[in-house]
Structure 1
Amino acid sequence: MASKKMVLSVFIVFLMAFAVVASGCLGGGGSSSTTTSSPSATSSSSPSQSTTSSPSATSSPTTTTVSPTKVVQYVGDHLSNATVVETPNYVVIVGPEGSGAKVSNLPNKPAIVVSYKVNEKKTPTIQELMNESQGFGAINPAFLRDPNLDALIKVGREVTDIKIREAIYNALYIMANKEVPEIIIGDNKAARVSWNWVHDWYYNPVLAPRWDLVMEDKNAPSQAIGIGDYKNEPGTIVEATFGWPKSFDPAFDYETFGWAVYHNVGDTLVTYWKNETKEVSPDLAVAWAHNKNGTVWYFVIRGGVKAYDPKNNQLYPINATDVEFEFWRVLRAGYSVNWMLATYTNLSASYAMSENEFNKEAQNGLIAEYQGKEETVKSLNQLLQFFGYNGQTAGVYKLVLPHPYGGILSVLADPYLMVIPAKYMLGDKYEEAMKAADWGRKPDEWANYVQKGSDDPIHKMLQDNMIGVFTGPFYIKEGKENSYLVLERNPYYWNASIWSKLESENPGLVTTKRVIYVLSKDPQTRISLFQKGVADIAAVPLTRLNAVQNLKIGNFESRIDTVVTPDMVFVVLNAAKEPFNNELVREALAWATPYNKIYQAVYNGYMVPNYGPIPVGWLGYTTCCVNKYSFNLNKALQLLKQSGINPSDYSITIYYNSGNTERQDMATLLQNTWGQLGFKVTVTALSWPTLLQKTGSGDFQVYIVGWAPDFLDPDDYIGPFLQSAVVFDSLNYEVIS
């Protein structure tokens, strides 16, 4: 049997604490969409405002390097404290050292075997985590502890092979489905309203559409917009929506509208192509590779890319040093969005290098992985051939991680990491700053040229000039806060040839040359603009969709498309308290949840079932080997009988955030059906800050909440939903095929 082994460095599993404390992804229910209407938009609270704070407020992970220990031995006829999970393509076995499974009993699939030794002294108790209000931070919101889950979470973070990662997350999804720390209600749907002269308006769950890839019918009508001399005509996308970037400096922006703009006017190292979710594609980086343990990554920068300054009609070539400086500047700014760089990268040790320097470091072999293939490369030419690239290059960015992280490419695709030329930002200080930092070899020397916080002159310049320099398919031409924003096609975009290619492949359509966001908080204003054909696309509340159905202008019709979003709604059960510390009770409550009534009566059909903590269609999501929960009162009663508890002995209080009518209605439905099991159930509304305080410290029995992603990786769900701060003395995995 072929065997591949890896010994993982071990650290306290506090990583994803940042994802809640700093990101504000915990969903109070406020709408965060600029082109669709969330079913949760009735909440009076904005979660992003309620939960953000600086990562400095959270304890940093502790890293401990340990000696290798032997991998799980296959002995005995049964399992001893080990869990065996069959996934679609692998069998995943996880347990303490010395536990294992009999090989002959395993299905005919390759196996991933994970073994560990827990450091009981260093692992904080559940009560200690409650005292520190670490719920939905260092520990999952249910305060469930299962070292098997923590071990798999850590392996999933550090493995880079996408097939192994998928199997690990399949296993975690299946285990969460069986242990039920949270009852997953489902993934929200969104209604996307447009005229059918708009073509190829694709949907990606974390990235807004790149408007230059969206096309329009050549015969679409032409109408004045009412903003200057602009017209909505073929080749101009007009979106009637709401919002405004919190900042035109990506280092200070952490909301949907700003990221949508950055995605169209800037370029990141890697990106997700259209609606792809499982693997990134090249953008400013044309190829990448990493060392054997995944702690050092090399990104080959595309040559010939120029950033366009339309105000001064000036161009700035982009190279690896620009990438390094912008990453470092985002971290230096200290705004909450920098938690991802603070957690997953070591920018003080990262730097730009030449192609020759890369060749020297590659001599001992680097791992390149792309589109399901893997190869050991020992030169730049070999790496570029692996990615099928034969154009210019502009240096290599060496990115050092404090520990392996398999989701790092997803983080790097986030639009706030769009690259801005250092020379534009530093101006007359460029040469001086570069020499002081030895052209990036000592990046922390840039602290003398970039201030922390919003008083930094670079931040003020970007804010005042609406960024002012652009590498993406569009540039910002003009705008008026909360009124309109105009993007114009960038004549110096490095991939401009794609537009003529698209038009030659679609002779009846034209590519987008201009984007105009017409902004209004009033739904009726947006609806009226759409009804008249002034807007091609509009954000319309679900309760008002009838106003935009079956409309006609000439030969064209209005269209409402439904897409599944990664915005998840779920019910948290406090697994540290009776009776929820009994897995059979948790499962019984899952079977006693009236899903269909919730979907129809509460969410008007705009929700799809999900059975675990990974969004539908994402890496690791599976319908294999899971309980497909539906309302089954008899099954719930049977499980309660098996659990040994008497439901009438228990009172359950369900919390939800006040002002969120959907969650109020859901809680009432749960009160009715769980009451039929014999529990005494009450429903209580709490203000959003009070709910966060109580649930974070474990002062609850049940509550309803939502979750939306920071980046497109299952770890952004699995970690917060399942981790429990277990500290390992050793942790190993082996793939046996």
Structure 2
Amino acid sequence: MNRKTLALPALAGLLAPVLVACGASNGGSGGGGDIVVGTTDQFVATEDAPAPFDPAFAYDTGAWNVLRQTVQTLMHVPRGSGAPVPEAAEKCGFTDKVSQSYRCTLRDGLTFADGTPVTAKDVKFSIERVLDIKSDNGTAALLAGIDTIEPKGDKEVVFHLKTPDATFPYKLSTPVAGILSKAKYDGQKLRDGFAIDGSGPYTVRVDHDGDRVTRAVFTKNPKYKGDIKLRNEKVELRSFADADAMGKAFDADEIDVMARAMSPDQIKDLTDKPKESVKLTEVPGLEIRYLGFNTEHPSVKDKAVRQAMAAVVDRGQIAGKVYGSTAQPLYSLIPSSIAGHTNSFFNRYGEPNARQAAEILRKADVSTPVKLTLHYTTDHYGPGTAKEFEALRGQLNATRLFDVTVKGVEWSKFRPAQKRGDYAVYGLGWFPDFPDPDNYIAPFLDADNFLNTPYANNVVRAQLIPASRREADRTAAAGTFARMQDIVATDVPVLPLWQGKQYVAAQSDVSGVEWALNTSSDLQLWELGRGGA
């Protein structure tokens, strides 16, 4: 059944207690006042996703980038990436040799923004809340390895895991593990609307137009105690419909920074014709793009169809012609810049080859042309997505083995439909929760995964993922990850396409831009300052 967006009057009533009306920003830009950052991320409350900023539901980069400013976690990934370090915690660590018991001690004097003390019981409440609610967005899967949580007094908490997991400190650094107050959040249901309360470096005021956020204004939290050092008093995050609208605001000095996501044309223009008043910064990125499959859908249920697509897709053409210098071909779920990567798809299928694809389909007795619709989202990954899917359609149809159409859908409708299994083939991007190869495998292949896919490989789930997590030395898990990548290339539940770079453009008087976006596309607004700040 198709579900519709909530009626605006009803939604306005729902959000009224926690939001203020849209209006002019109190912050300045273009050389003075508060720092204003532009984004093309869309934040929409719908019937399918009524709680876009609830840590028990939020599982996209845009929402996480709002939560990271406001909701504190026990650990966080430090400036420049690397292993997680304590944030709300004073210290954390495994208390055994097999990575199955993890203890954290909270900082002295830690409080929520309203002054209420943060205790170990709040940590237990917050994480058990995620597991109890178990939203269909896939968030609970990150914490599903927890067996029990044991508070020891007000300041200590011990996590007992079901199986060893050397990646657990990374998971505690994600907004899913954000520390919440029982006074503000129900333990058994999501908090509808856009309100956020926490103990993070900022408090936030969210402005909206009906069911859609227009801006979020972050103000320094005077009660914050943690590892993060703020270089500003206030930052505004302003949401734009697309990269062109964001670019016009930047050119008019209405915003100081263009973050996620600039278009390839904007990046090329600023690279080829640099402006003295603008700094374009390339930031290492770990984003990937891929096609996902509902492996129970009749059109792609036979893996021969998916294998044939893998044999003819020309990643180099897509990366070069659509995205230029901002993308490179990807032949595995794990990008080449992450330890454990192997070129599994290239090793199996080689260069694009229509004859090979035809032979795969012939041996499986699949009639051609195979009729498919490829779905993509029009407003979540930037303007290049439509061109990318036109290129994919052209490549597949040129073989005469496929009869492909493409259809664009806005993100607020696309994601619920994808999770329901409405689409046989769909395009998605992945920005890692943390920079470890596990986070390019488990969210796609483990139980209760992000894709809500019907595909299940018992060897991967029961043997290989647990085996990889037992290795505290992550390089020692390379062989296990290689096996999983080869299985993906054989069964093709997903088809990797390309991995991307990321760029930030800023007015010349803004400092800290090189630290404002890390490799996982985490927006770190506290790094931004004016002049030499």
Which whole-Å deviations, capped at 9, do the CAs of 1:483-521 have from their partners, x for residues lacking one? Answer: 33211222333247845xxxxxxxxxxx33321123343
Gap regions ≥5 residues in structure 1: 1-44, 50-224, 310-314, 355-393, 427-449, 500-510
Instruction: Please tell me whether residue 724 in structure 1 is matched to residue 441 in structure 2.
Output: no
Residue of structure 1 equivalent to 2:145: 344
Distance 1:579 1:295, change over 3 A: closer
SS at match of 2:103: strand
Residue of structure 2 equivalent to 1:123: none
Instruction: Please tell me whether residue 667 in structure 1 is matched to residue 393 in structure 2.
Output: yes
Instruction: Please tell me whether residue 410 in structure 1 is matched to residue 139 in structure 2.
Output: no
Distance 1:718 1:696, change over 3 A: farther
Distance 1:325 1:491, change over 3 A: same
SS at match of 2:179: coil
Residue of structure 2 equivalent to 1:484: 215
Distance 1:497 1:711, change over 3 A: closer
- Asked if the contact 1:709/1:717 (under 8 Å) is kept, the reply is no
Q: CA deviation at 1:646?
A: 7.0
Residue of structure 1 equivalent to 2:39: 241
Residues 223-372 of structure 1 mapped to structure 2, 5 A cutoff = 227-228=25-26, 230-231=28-29, 233=31, 236-242=34-40, 243-244=42-43, 246=45, 247=51, 248-276=53-81, 279-285=83-89, 286-309=91-114, 315-333=115-133, 335-336=135-136, 338-340=139-141, 343-346=144-147, 349-354=148-153
TM-score (norm 2): 0.61
Q: CA deviation at 1:230?
A: 4.2
One-letter code of the match for 1:490? N
- Asked if the contact 1:656/1:667 (under 8 Å) is kept, the reply is no
CA distance in 2, matches of 1:257, 1:532: 24
Q: CA deviation at 1:320?
A: 1.8
- Asked if the contact 1:611/1:628 (under 8 Å) is kept, the reply is no
Q: CA deviation at 1:527?
A: 2.3
Which whole-Å deviations, capped at 9, do the CAs of 1:182-233 have from their partners, x for residues lacking one? Answer: xxxxxxxxxxxxxxxxxxxxxxxxxxxxxxxxxxxxxxxxxxx952364554
Which whole-Å deviations, capped at 9, do the CAs of 1:406-429 have from their partners, x for residues lacking one? Answer: 44333322213221345x549xxx
Distance 1:542 1:622, change over 3 A: same
Distance 1:543 1:512, change over 3 A: same
One-letter code of the match for 2:394? T
Q: CA deviation at 1:400?
A: 2.6
- Asked if the contact 2:94/2:100 (under 8 Å) is kept, the reply is no
Q: CA deviation at 1:716?
A: 4.1
- Asked if the contact 2:146/2:161 (under 8 Å) is kept, the reply is yes
CA distance in 2, matches of 1:590, 1:729: 26
Residue of structure 2 equivalent to 1:467: 196
CA distance in 1, matches of 2:345, 2:303: 23
SS at match of 1:533: coil
Residue of structure 1 equivalent to 2:520: none
- Asked if the contact 2:316/2:329 (under 8 Å) is kept, the reply is no
CA distance in 2, matches of 1:238, 1:637: 53
CA distance in 2, matches of 1:497, 1:589: 46
One-letter code of the match for 2:441? I
SS at match of 1:260: helix
Residue of structure 1 equivalent to 2:527: none
Alignment equivalent of 1:494, drawn from 218, 225, 229 = 225
- Asked which structure has the greater CA Rg, the reply is 1
SS at match of 1:323: helix
Which whole-Å deviations, capped at 9, do the CAs of 1:42-75 have from their partners, x for residues lacking one? Answer: xxx99x99xxxxxxxxxxxxxxxxxxxxxxxxxx
Count of residues in correspondence between the two structures: 412
SS at match of 1:307: coil
Gap regions ≥5 residues in structure 2: 7-22, 46-50, 378-385, 446-454, 477-533
Distance 1:496 1:329, change over 3 A: closer
TM-score (norm 1): 0.46
How well do the aligned residues superpose, as a CA RMSD in angstroms? 5.0
One-letter code of the match for 1:492? K
CA distance in 2, matches of 1:542, 1:267: 32
- Asked if the contact 1:593/1:630 (under 8 Å) is kept, the reply is no
- Asked if the contact 2:396/2:403 (under 8 Å) is kept, the reply is no
Distance 1:302 1:621, change over 3 A: farther
- Asked if the contact 1:527/1:540 (under 8 Å) is kept, the reply is no
Residue of structure 1 equivalent to 2:430: 708
Residues 674-713 of structure 1 mapped to structure 2, 5 A cutoff = 674-675=399-400, 680-685=401-406, 703=425, 705-708=427-430, 711-712=433-434, 713=436
Q: CA deviation at 1:238?
A: 0.8
Q: CA deviation at 1:531?
A: 0.5
- Asked if the contact 1:591/1:630 (under 8 Å) is kept, the reply is yes
CA distance in 2, matches of 1:603, 1:496: 37
Residue of structure 2 equivalent to 1:164: none
Distance 1:616 1:317, change over 3 A: farther
SS at match of 1:238: strand
Residues 614-625 of structure 1 mapped to structure 2, 5 A cutoff = 614-622=334-342
CA distance in 2, matches of 1:631, 1:593: 9
